[in-house]
Amino acid sequence: MSSRQIAVALALLVLAQGVRAEDAPAAAPSWTGHVDVLSRYILRGITTTYGPGAALGNAGADAPESDRPVLQWGTDWSHPSGFYAGYFGSMVNYSYQRLAQSYADRGITDFQSHKSIENDLYGGYTGKLGELGYNAGMTGYVYLNGGHSSALETKLSLSYGEFTVGAQTLLRDVIWGNKGDTYWTLNHVKALPYDLTLTSSLGFYSYKREGKYLGTTDTAAGSACASGQGFIVNACVDGHGPVSGGFRHLIVGVTQPLGKSGLSWGLQGILGGDNRYGVKQKNRLVASLSYGI
Protein backbone atom coordinates (compact mmCIF):
# COMPACT_ATOMS: atom_id res chain seq x y z
CA MET A 1 0.00 0.00 0.00
CA SER A 2 1.40 3.41 -0.95
CA SER A 3 1.78 6.30 1.52
CA ARG A 4 -1.05 8.11 -0.35
CA GLN A 5 -3.39 5.13 0.08
CA ILE A 6 -2.48 4.94 3.77
CA ALA A 7 -3.27 8.66 4.19
CA VAL A 8 -6.67 8.25 2.47
CA ALA A 9 -7.52 5.25 4.65
CA LEU A 10 -6.60 7.16 7.80
CA ALA A 11 -8.70 10.13 6.68
CA LEU A 12 -11.72 7.86 6.25
CA LEU A 13 -11.11 6.42 9.72
CA VAL A 14 -11.00 9.96 11.13
CA LEU A 15 -14.39 10.77 9.57
CA ALA A 16 -15.90 7.56 10.89
CA GLN A 17 -14.49 8.22 14.35
CA GLY A 18 -15.92 11.74 14.30
CA VAL A 19 -19.44 10.44 13.56
CA ARG A 20 -19.28 8.01 16.47
CA ALA A 21 -17.87 10.72 18.75
CA GLU A 22 -21.09 12.75 18.43
CA ASP A 23 -22.81 10.35 20.82
CA ALA A 24 -19.96 10.40 23.37
CA PRO A 25 -20.16 12.41 26.63
CA ALA A 26 -18.53 15.84 26.46
CA ALA A 27 -15.08 16.11 28.03
CA ALA A 28 -12.65 18.97 28.49
CA PRO A 29 -9.42 19.42 26.50
CA SER A 30 -6.17 19.01 28.43
CA TRP A 31 -2.85 20.85 28.51
CA THR A 32 0.55 19.59 29.65
CA GLY A 33 3.99 21.19 29.63
CA HIS A 34 7.60 20.28 30.31
CA VAL A 35 11.08 21.73 30.75
CA ASP A 36 14.06 19.39 30.34
CA VAL A 37 17.83 19.45 30.79
CA LEU A 38 19.72 16.84 28.71
CA SER A 39 23.40 15.94 28.78
CA ARG A 40 23.35 16.41 24.98
CA TYR A 41 20.83 16.69 22.14
CA ILE A 42 21.13 13.83 19.67
CA LEU A 43 18.66 13.86 16.77
CA ARG A 44 17.38 10.50 15.55
CA GLY A 45 20.50 8.56 16.46
CA ILE A 46 23.09 10.76 14.75
CA THR A 47 25.73 10.77 17.48
CA THR A 48 28.91 11.38 15.44
CA THR A 49 28.52 13.06 12.05
CA TYR A 50 25.98 13.89 9.36
CA GLY A 51 28.80 13.82 6.78
CA PRO A 52 30.40 11.23 4.50
CA GLY A 53 33.75 11.01 6.29
CA ALA A 54 35.33 11.84 9.61
CA ALA A 55 33.27 14.02 11.95
CA LEU A 56 33.62 17.73 11.23
CA GLY A 57 33.01 18.51 14.88
CA ASN A 58 30.19 20.56 16.32
CA ALA A 59 32.01 23.78 15.49
CA GLY A 60 31.62 22.80 11.84
CA ALA A 61 27.83 22.64 12.15
CA ASP A 62 28.01 18.87 12.39
CA ALA A 63 26.26 16.37 14.72
CA PRO A 64 25.23 16.11 17.44
CA GLU A 65 22.80 19.03 17.65
CA SER A 66 24.47 19.92 20.95
CA ASP A 67 27.64 18.32 22.31
CA ARG A 68 27.07 19.78 25.79
CA PRO A 69 24.16 20.03 28.27
CA VAL A 70 21.11 21.56 26.58
CA LEU A 71 17.78 23.06 27.64
CA GLN A 72 14.53 21.93 25.98
CA TRP A 73 10.87 22.80 26.60
CA GLY A 74 7.40 22.23 25.20
CA THR A 75 3.66 22.05 25.66
CA ASP A 76 0.89 19.76 24.39
CA TRP A 77 -2.87 20.19 23.95
CA SER A 78 -5.26 17.31 23.35
CA HIS A 79 -9.01 17.21 22.77
CA PRO A 80 -11.26 14.26 23.66
CA SER A 81 -12.36 14.14 20.01
CA GLY A 82 -8.84 13.01 19.05
CA PHE A 83 -7.37 16.27 17.74
CA TYR A 84 -4.08 17.40 19.24
CA ALA A 85 -1.44 20.12 18.85
CA GLY A 86 1.87 20.87 20.45
CA TYR A 87 5.13 22.76 20.50
CA PHE A 88 8.72 21.63 21.20
CA GLY A 89 11.74 23.90 21.52
CA SER A 90 15.44 23.26 21.96
CA MET A 91 18.79 25.00 22.03
CA VAL A 92 21.10 24.05 19.15
CA ASN A 93 24.86 24.43 19.50
CA TYR A 94 25.47 25.98 16.07
CA SER A 95 23.86 28.36 13.63
CA TYR A 96 21.71 27.26 10.70
CA GLN A 97 21.74 30.93 9.68
CA ARG A 98 25.53 30.97 9.28
CA LEU A 99 25.45 27.56 7.63
CA ALA A 100 22.91 28.77 5.06
CA GLN A 101 24.96 31.91 4.38
CA SER A 102 28.06 29.78 3.80
CA TYR A 103 26.54 28.19 0.70
CA ALA A 104 26.82 31.59 -1.01
CA ASP A 105 29.94 32.77 0.85
CA ARG A 106 32.36 29.88 1.14
CA GLY A 107 34.64 32.02 3.29
CA ILE A 108 32.31 31.58 6.28
CA THR A 109 33.74 29.04 8.73
CA ASP A 110 32.34 30.32 12.05
CA PHE A 111 29.09 28.50 12.80
CA GLN A 112 29.05 29.27 16.54
CA SER A 113 27.75 32.85 16.35
CA HIS A 114 23.99 33.51 16.10
CA LYS A 115 23.21 30.03 17.40
CA SER A 116 19.85 28.61 16.36
CA ILE A 117 16.80 27.72 18.44
CA GLU A 118 14.72 24.83 17.13
CA ASN A 119 10.93 25.25 17.20
CA ASP A 120 8.68 22.32 16.24
CA LEU A 121 4.95 22.98 15.78
CA TYR A 122 2.83 19.88 15.29
CA GLY A 123 -0.75 18.74 15.19
CA GLY A 124 -3.01 15.99 13.98
CA TYR A 125 -5.65 13.46 14.89
CA THR A 126 -5.53 10.21 16.84
CA GLY A 127 -8.21 7.55 17.04
CA LYS A 128 -8.89 3.83 17.38
CA LEU A 129 -10.53 1.17 15.31
CA GLY A 130 -11.06 -1.70 17.71
CA GLU A 131 -7.66 -2.47 19.25
CA LEU A 132 -5.78 -0.66 16.47
CA GLY A 133 -4.81 2.96 17.08
CA TYR A 134 -3.87 5.46 14.38
CA ASN A 135 -2.32 8.91 14.18
CA ALA A 136 -2.21 11.28 11.19
CA GLY A 137 -0.54 14.68 11.47
CA MET A 138 2.21 17.07 10.42
CA THR A 139 5.20 18.78 12.03
CA GLY A 140 6.54 22.18 11.02
CA TYR A 141 10.21 22.91 11.79
CA VAL A 142 11.08 26.58 12.27
CA TYR A 143 14.52 27.76 13.40
CA LEU A 144 15.31 31.05 15.11
CA ASN A 145 18.54 32.20 13.44
CA GLY A 146 17.84 29.76 10.63
CA GLY A 147 18.22 29.57 6.88
CA HIS A 148 17.17 26.93 4.33
CA SER A 149 16.14 24.90 7.39
CA SER A 150 12.39 25.37 7.91
CA ALA A 151 10.19 22.60 6.51
CA LEU A 152 7.09 20.46 6.92
CA GLU A 153 7.08 16.75 7.65
CA THR A 154 4.11 14.37 7.46
CA LYS A 155 3.49 11.93 10.30
CA LEU A 156 1.55 8.65 10.07
CA SER A 157 1.51 5.85 12.64
CA LEU A 158 -0.37 2.73 13.70
CA SER A 159 -0.31 1.27 17.21
CA TYR A 160 -1.34 -1.98 18.84
CA GLY A 161 -0.89 -2.59 22.55
CA GLU A 162 2.55 -1.42 23.62
CA PHE A 163 3.91 -1.09 20.05
CA THR A 164 3.74 1.76 17.50
CA VAL A 165 5.06 1.81 13.93
CA GLY A 166 5.44 5.19 12.29
CA ALA A 167 6.67 7.02 9.18
CA GLN A 168 7.68 10.69 8.91
CA THR A 169 8.40 12.14 5.45
CA LEU A 170 10.16 15.45 4.74
CA LEU A 171 8.40 17.68 2.18
CA ARG A 172 11.22 20.09 1.25
CA ASP A 173 14.96 20.17 0.57
CA VAL A 174 16.75 21.74 3.55
CA ILE A 175 20.34 21.80 4.77
CA TRP A 176 19.61 18.88 7.14
CA GLY A 177 17.60 16.64 4.77
CA ASN A 178 16.24 16.01 1.28
CA LYS A 179 12.64 16.17 0.13
CA GLY A 180 11.21 12.64 0.38
CA ASP A 181 13.49 11.42 3.20
CA THR A 182 11.39 9.09 5.37
CA TYR A 183 12.12 8.20 8.98
CA TRP A 184 10.67 4.81 9.99
CA THR A 185 10.31 3.81 13.64
CA LEU A 186 9.11 0.89 15.72
CA ASN A 187 8.52 2.08 19.29
CA HIS A 188 7.70 0.16 22.45
CA VAL A 189 6.61 1.55 25.84
CA LYS A 190 6.21 -0.61 28.94
CA ALA A 191 5.45 0.24 32.57
CA LEU A 192 7.78 -1.40 35.09
CA PRO A 193 7.72 -1.71 38.89
CA TYR A 194 8.75 1.26 41.06
CA ASP A 195 7.14 3.75 38.63
CA LEU A 196 9.80 3.05 36.00
CA THR A 197 8.88 3.33 32.33
CA LEU A 198 10.87 1.46 29.69
CA THR A 199 10.98 2.93 26.16
CA SER A 200 12.60 1.41 23.09
CA SER A 201 12.89 2.83 19.59
CA LEU A 202 14.19 1.05 16.49
CA GLY A 203 14.84 3.52 13.66
CA PHE A 204 15.46 3.19 9.92
CA TYR A 205 15.70 5.78 7.14
CA SER A 206 14.80 5.85 3.46
CA TYR A 207 16.87 8.60 1.82
CA LYS A 208 16.55 10.61 -1.36
CA ARG A 209 20.15 10.48 -2.49
CA GLU A 210 20.23 13.87 -4.23
CA GLY A 211 18.91 17.20 -2.97
CA LYS A 212 19.69 20.88 -3.14
CA TYR A 213 21.98 20.82 -0.10
CA LEU A 214 22.91 17.15 0.35
CA GLY A 215 24.07 14.56 -2.17
CA THR A 216 26.94 14.37 -4.66
CA THR A 217 26.54 17.71 -6.46
CA ASP A 218 27.69 21.15 -5.35
CA THR A 219 24.51 22.88 -6.51
CA ALA A 220 25.82 26.38 -5.70
CA ALA A 221 28.94 25.90 -7.84
CA GLY A 222 27.10 23.79 -10.39
CA SER A 223 29.66 20.98 -10.36
CA ALA A 224 29.66 17.33 -9.35
CA CYS A 225 31.76 16.02 -6.50
CA ALA A 226 34.60 13.61 -7.25
CA SER A 227 34.05 9.88 -6.98
CA GLY A 228 33.76 8.79 -3.35
CA GLN A 229 32.82 12.26 -2.11
CA GLY A 230 29.59 13.58 -0.63
CA PHE A 231 28.27 17.14 -0.60
CA ILE A 232 27.42 18.52 2.86
CA VAL A 233 28.02 21.75 4.80
CA ASN A 234 28.72 23.63 1.53
CA ALA A 235 31.61 21.38 0.43
CA CYS A 236 32.43 18.07 -1.23
CA VAL A 237 33.92 15.88 1.49
CA ASP A 238 35.99 12.70 1.08
CA GLY A 239 34.51 9.47 2.42
CA HIS A 240 31.36 7.87 1.02
CA GLY A 241 28.65 8.71 -1.45
CA PRO A 242 25.01 8.87 -0.32
CA VAL A 243 23.05 5.66 0.28
CA SER A 244 19.35 4.96 -0.31
CA GLY A 245 18.61 3.86 3.25
CA GLY A 246 19.59 1.81 6.25
CA PHE A 247 19.49 1.16 9.99
CA ARG A 248 19.62 4.42 11.96
CA HIS A 249 19.50 3.55 15.67
CA LEU A 250 18.32 1.41 18.55
CA ILE A 251 17.47 3.53 21.58
CA VAL A 252 16.56 2.00 24.95
CA GLY A 253 15.72 4.24 27.89
CA VAL A 254 14.14 4.38 31.34
CA THR A 255 12.39 7.23 33.15
CA GLN A 256 11.12 7.55 36.70
CA PRO A 257 9.33 10.34 38.61
CA LEU A 258 11.02 11.73 41.72
CA GLY A 259 8.17 11.38 44.19
CA LYS A 260 5.47 14.03 43.78
CA SER A 261 7.90 16.84 42.97
CA GLY A 262 6.97 16.98 39.28
CA LEU A 263 10.57 16.09 38.45
CA SER A 264 11.66 12.91 36.70
CA TRP A 265 15.00 11.49 35.67
CA GLY A 266 15.84 9.55 32.53
CA LEU A 267 18.69 7.63 30.94
CA GLN A 268 18.97 6.54 27.30
CA GLY A 269 21.41 4.17 25.66
CA ILE A 270 21.85 4.79 21.93
CA LEU A 271 23.21 2.07 19.64
CA GLY A 272 24.27 4.05 16.61
CA GLY A 273 23.51 2.93 13.07
CA ASP A 274 24.56 4.61 9.81
CA ASN A 275 23.92 8.12 8.50
CA ARG A 276 22.81 9.02 4.95
CA TYR A 277 26.37 8.45 3.67
CA GLY A 278 26.71 5.02 5.28
CA VAL A 279 29.03 6.24 8.06
CA LYS A 280 28.72 4.26 11.31
CA GLN A 281 27.69 6.29 14.38
CA LYS A 282 29.15 5.85 17.87
CA ASN A 283 27.16 4.48 20.80
CA ARG A 284 26.17 7.04 23.44
CA LEU A 285 24.48 7.49 26.82
CA VAL A 286 22.20 10.51 27.37
CA ALA A 287 20.91 11.57 30.80
CA SER A 288 17.97 13.90 31.43
CA LEU A 289 16.14 15.71 34.22
CA SER A 290 12.60 16.92 33.45
CA TYR A 291 9.90 18.96 35.11
CA GLY A 292 6.34 18.40 33.96
CA ILE A 293 3.10 20.26 34.60
Q: What is the pTM of this model?
A: 0.89
Give CA–CA dist 51/229, Å, rounded. Answer: 10
Q: What is the pLDDT along the chain (293 residues), one digit of tens a residue?
A: 444 444 444 444 444 444 444 454 568 899 999 999 999 999 999 999 999 988 877 888 888 999 899 999 999 999 999 999 999 999 999 999 999 999 889 889 889 999 999 999 999 999 999 999 999 999 999 999 999 999 999 999 999 999 999 999 999 999 999 999 999 999 999 999 999 999 999 999 999 999 999 999 998 788 999 988 999 988 899 999 999 999 999 999 999 999 999 999 999 999 999 999 999 999 999 999 999 99
C-alpha angle 42-31-265 in degrees, rounded to nearest 5: 40
Q: Is residue 166 a part of any domain in this protein?
A: yes
C-alpha angle 181-164-248 in degrees, rounded to nearest 5: 40
Q: Is residue 107 a part of any domain in this protein?
A: yes
Look up the domain containing 286 and give its range.
3-20+30-292
Q: Is residue 25 a part of any domain in this protein?
A: no
The number of folded domains in the chain is: 1
Residue 188 sits in a domain of what CATH number?
A: 2.40.160.40
C-alpha angle 137-91-269 in degrees, rounded to nearest 5: 75
